[in-house]
Amino acid sequence: MGPARLVAGAALLALGARALAKTPPPSPQLLERGKIVYEGATAGCSACHGLTGEGNGPVAFAIKPPPRNFKTEPFKAGDRVEQIFTTITLGLPNTRMVGYPQLPEADRWALAYYVRSFRPAK
Ligand code: HEC
């Protein structure tokens, strides 16, 4: 590939990275992806948070402080999509909620929207 193409490719990559760094708009595809990652074995969110998001996953009973009931309890770290994204990325100090920076950024946004969807409409 020629130098002009390389430059164009690099510019596109940079654009792609910038686009992901800001909140993607909500979409059914994002929610669908979020559900798959949330319930999947790699991230394992539902093991603690439960399939219904009520903090009733199979290992939740063993955890102190216990996982949040996403439907009814206020969020310590905020429940805006950006705040949930940050919690998923960095975790919450001194709890069993570790950060998941290893998940692709797009999946963390998908998870943030999916977790947000458990909240009652405001
Ligand atoms: C090992 C159990 C465990 C796993 C796995 C886990 N969490 Fe958590 N999570 C917790 C606990 C415990 C808390 C509450 C900590 C506290 O009380 O501050 C929490 C808190 C949270 C919060 C913050 C709620 C608030 O109050 O601000 C979010 C959002 C969240 N988890 C999302 C996720 C997502 C998404 C995944 C999967 C990528 C996940 N968690 C995986 C145990 C877990």
DSSP letters spanning 14-26? HHHHHHHHSPPPP
Instruction: Compute the distance from residue 12 Cα to the ligand 1 centre, in Å.
Output: 34
Cα atoms in the 13 Å half-sphere on the side-chain side of 7? 3
**pLDDT beyond 60 at 12:** no
pLDDT in the model for residue 10: 60
Instruction: Compute the distance from residue 26 Cα to the ligand 1 centre, in Å.
Output: 21
For residue 32, what are the domain limits?
Answer: 25-116
Residue with tokens 């990559």: 13
Check which CATH number belongs to the domain holding 61 and give it.
1.10.760.10
Among protein residues, the one with the nearest Cα to ligand 1's atom 32 is 88
Residue with tokens 């955890």: 63
pLDDT in the model for residue 27: 96
Q: Which two tokens stand for residue 14?
A: 């940079």
Output the pTM of the full model: 0.86
**20: in domain:** no
**8: in domain:** no
**15: in domain:** no
Instruction: Compute the distance from residue 49 Cα to the ligand 1 centre, in Å.
Output: 7
Domain count, the chain: 1
What digits encode the pLDDT tens for the residues 67-90? 989 999 999 999 999 999 999 999
**57: in domain:** yes
